[in-house]
Amino acid sequence: MLEIKNITCYYGVICALKDVTITIPDDGIYAIIGANGAGKSTLINSIAGLVTPVSGSIVFDGKEITSIPTKDVIRTGIALCPEGRRIFKNISVYENLVGGAYIMKDKKRIEENVNYVYELFPRLKERHRQLAGTLSGGEQQMLAMGRALMTDPKLLLLDEPSMGLAPNLIDFTFETMVRIHRERHIPSLVVEQNSEMALSVANYAYVLEVGRLTLEGTGEELLASDEVKNKYLGA
């Protein structure tokens, strides 16, 4: 479904990604792990059209998307749950969700998706009229994930979904990711510093170090890797 071939990205004179190639099939949960500054968010932002590679290509569902604007990337079927949530704080939970479906015209389907999000996150249903900016950090993360689901995406991108969350909410976030895949069959690509959690749910994963891919394998294989244990799992 997603083919990233030899992309290189710069921020000014700093090389954030160097000759990175990954493939994401049309099913499963995939993870990118690595230390802070490894280039993980740059990679996911390049897919979303927020960063333009200086070389290489990104092909999604047979269409070249390397240099197209983010609004057009979304229309191809990619949805991003961004780092830091970036919800609209001055409008309600419900308005955030409906706003996330702005490319959809089917009002019935929009309401069906709202109800599905409320089923996933009952707290959001309880607070549907509440201003989003007054939610707790965990509730805002639920809202960001729910908003990303509103367009019936073909691929879900999640950038550091566990950042700043309490341990029980981290577990819930990853359990929900697995549930979404099981119930909606939406493949997802998650970028995470919480390597153990990401690898525990991932069908396949990649390790980024200073902008370069250094390891790849199934989640189980990387969890068992001595190199991964020493660098990322605190072993």
DSSP string for 68-107: S-HHHHHHHTEEEE-TT----TTSBHHHHHHHHTTT---H
pLDDT of residue 174: 94
Which tens digit of pLDDT belongs to each residue from 180-217? 999 999 999 999 989 999 999 999 999 999 999 999 99
Instruction: Characterize 26-57 residue by residue with b for buried, 16 or more Cβ atoms within 10 angstroms of its Cβ, and e for exposed.
Output: eebbbbbbbeeebbbbbbbbbbbbebebeebe
Pairing of strands 14-24, 204-209: unpaired
Query: Stretch 108-137: mean pLDDT, rounded?
Result: 95
Which tens digit of pLDDT belongs to each residue from 132-153? 999 999 999 999 999 999 999 9
Q: Is the pLDDT of residue 222 over 90?
A: yes
Distance CA 206, CA 203 (A): 11
Average pLDDT of the chain is 93
**Domains of the chain and any CATH numbers:** 1-68+156-161+189-235 (3.40.50.300)
Amino acid at 7: I
Among positive and negative, which fits the CA dihedral 92, 80, 162, 42?
Answer: negative
Phi, psi of 88 (to 5 degrees): -90, 105
